Amino acid sequence: MAGTTIGSLDPYLDDTNILRVGGRIRNSCIEVTQKHPILIPGNHHIAKLLISYYHEQVHRQGRHFTAGAVRQAGYWITGAKRLISFLIFRCVQCRKLRGPLEHQKLSDLPKDRLEPGPPFTNVGLDVFGPWNIVAQRTRGGSSQSKRWAALFSCLTTRAVHIELIAEMSSSAFINALRRFISIRGEVKLYRSDRGTSFVGATEDLGIQAINVEDRQMKDYLLKTGSTWIFNSPCSSHMGGAWERMIGSARRILDSMLSKIHEGNLTHDVLATFMAEVSAIINNRPLVSVSTDAATPFIQTPATLLTQKTPDACVARNLGEFTDKDIYKSEWKRVHALSDRFWTRWKGKYLSTLQNRRKWTDARPNLKGDVVLLRDKSTEISGRWL
């Protein structure tokens, strides 16, 4: 067995009875250690020690770097590629630096994203910003202040509502929440991350439980009868439904702010921009726009929110009405628009949520394993502190 493994290397014993590689380059002018490296069996403990040593010398680089360092040192290890790969896989420091993140199969969507209902019955929310605004103008200049924005995203119709916040406190957020509810109606379910601007919760909430450390927020939730479900810590992907809306709002707002001077941005101007951002997002198509001339209706969240549509044929399709039927006809028109929205929502939009775009395979849960938590806020240029 040993002959078939190293026979092609033409091994020989040197003057000190060390087994070396003979090979075919005896007449080259390179060093002896390069022409005739010491031959070491890959299943020997010394081979593992040498690979570990030179792997550390090249600062934990990959198999190619490590194999080159071993060869330049004058050693030829049989089966080196497989052994180096095995030892690098077992290297704790390499796993810390370049180990892949663990993940599980992408879970099913929650029920509150799949059941039709009035807009903003189930809401996901987050706060983004801030922006510097001109708070007051004086002869000596102007004083500046900061503003944030709370984005409320309907988990069913995918509509959004944006409210400005003057400061990052529970009181300011509750005021924004009250304005939102006054306009859009009572909310059955809230979903958000564990940001301190909301409640400062410390553990997951059940459907029937409200566990909020902030007493003012807890009292408000108990009065309204709403339920607040918090995502797991460090799990921003669980809020992708509204995080994507924040990304769209930022891009639209950046385009708007680029057209005005920074010194002209006031609270009134920023509030106007936020209203226009909401209108643009709510007028986006939820599904691909049809190329069929017979179906000009475009499925947008604004159709359900405003009960208006650019399709001028809607009223005519409902039939002819007299003055006696004015109230009845208005009810029929509103009902027809809502029915058309939900029919298309069930037939076309829900089917787009079927595919798992990532994390498609199930993996065993971590149990009794030593893990390293990754926090992007503690990284500098891809390396951990």
Name, in order, each residue with C-beta under 8 angstroms of 76's C-beta and a sequence gap of 6 or more: 9, 21, 37, 38, 39, 40
The two three-digit tokens of residue 5, written as one number: 């493994």
In a domain, 27, yes or no: yes
Contact 90, 103 (CB under 8 A): no
Tell me if 366 is assigned to some domain.
no
pTM above 0.75, yes or no: no
Domain holding 16, by residue range, is: 2-98
- Give the chain's domain count: 3
User: Exposed, middle or buried by CB within 10 Å (0-12, 13-18, 19+), for 174?
Assistant: middle
Together in a domain, 156 and 19:
no
Evaluate whether residue 215 is within a structural domain.
Answer: yes
Shared domain check, 215 and 143: yes
pLDDT at 211: 43
On whether residue 218 sits in a domain, the answer given is: yes
Q: What is the pLDDT of residue 155?
A: 92
Strand partners, 165: 148
pLDDT tens-digit readout, 14-25: 888 889 888 888
**Low-confidence spans in the chain with pLDDT less than 50:** 1-4, 199-211, 312-319, 321-327, 381-385
Tokens of residue 68, six digits: 């080159």
**Is the Cβ–Cβ distance between 282 and 298 less than 8 Å?**
no
In a domain, 77, yes or no: yes
Determine the pLDDT at residue 285: 87
On whether the CB atoms of residues 70 and 77 are closer than 8 A, the answer is yes
pLDDT in tens, 61-93: 889 999 999 999 999 999 999 999 999 999 988
Sequence-distant (≥ 6) Cβ neighbours of residue 117 within 8 angstroms: 156
Q: Which three-class secondary structure string do you get for the chain? A: CHHHHHHHHCCEECCCCCEECCCCCCCCCCCHHHHCCEEECCCCHHHHHHHHHHHHHCCCCCHHHHHHHHHHCCEEECCHHHHHHHHHHHCHHHHHHHCCCCCCCCCCCCHHHCCCCCCCCEEEEEEEEEEEEEEEEECCEEEEEEEEEEEEEECCCCCEEEEEECCCCHHHHHHHHHHHHHHHCCCCEEEECCCCCCCCCCCCCCCCCCCCCCHHHHHHHHHHCCEEEECCCCCHHHHHHHHHHHHHHHHHHHHHHCCCCHHHCCHHHHHHHHHHHHHHHHCCCCCCCCCCCCCCCCCCHHHHHHCCCCCCCHHHHCCCCCHHHHHHHHHHHHHHHHHHHHHHHHHHHHHHHCCCCCCCCCCCCCCCCCCCCCCHHHEECCEEC
Q: Are residues 278 and 325 in the same domain?
A: no
pLDDT recorded at residue 374:
73
Q: Is the domain of 167 the same as that of 269?
A: yes
In a domain, 292, yes or no: no
62 and 135 fall within a common domain:
no
The pLDDT assigned to 67 comes to 92
Specify the pLDDT at position 363: 83
Q: Which two tokens stand for residue 131?
A: 């922006």
Instruction: Give the residue from 70, 98, 126 where a domain finishes.
Output: 98
- The answer to whether residue 104 sits within a structural domain is no
268: in domain: yes
CATH of the domain at 145: 3.30.420.10
- Contact in structure between 197 and 173 (CB atoms under 8 Å): yes
Number of C-beta neighbours around residue 278 at 10 A: 23
- State the pLDDT at residue 246: 93
- Order of strands across the sheet that contains 12-13: 12-13, 19-20, 38-40, 75-77
Co-location of 215 and 307 in the same domain: no
* Cβ-based neighbours of 266, under 8 Å, separated by 6 or more: 133, 134
* Residues 119, 91 share a domain: no
Closest listed residue to residue 119, CA positions, set 279, 306, 280: 306
Beta bridge partners of 40: 77
**CATH at residue 92:** 1.10.340
Same domain, 126 and 218: yes
State phi, psi for 304 to the nearest 5 degrees.
-80, -35
Question: In Å, how far are 31, 101, 109 from 156, measured between CA atoms?
Answer: 73, 31, 11
Q: Using an 8 Å Cβ cutoff, are 286 and 158 in contact? A: yes
Indicate if 126 and 257 belong to the same structural domain.
yes
- Are residues 270 and 151 part of one domain? yes
My answer on whether 147 and 270 are in the same domain is yes
Q: State the pLDDT at residue 179.
A: 92
Q: Kindly state whether residues 198 and 231 are assigned to the same domain.
A: yes
Q: Residue 325: its pLDDT value, please?
A: 45
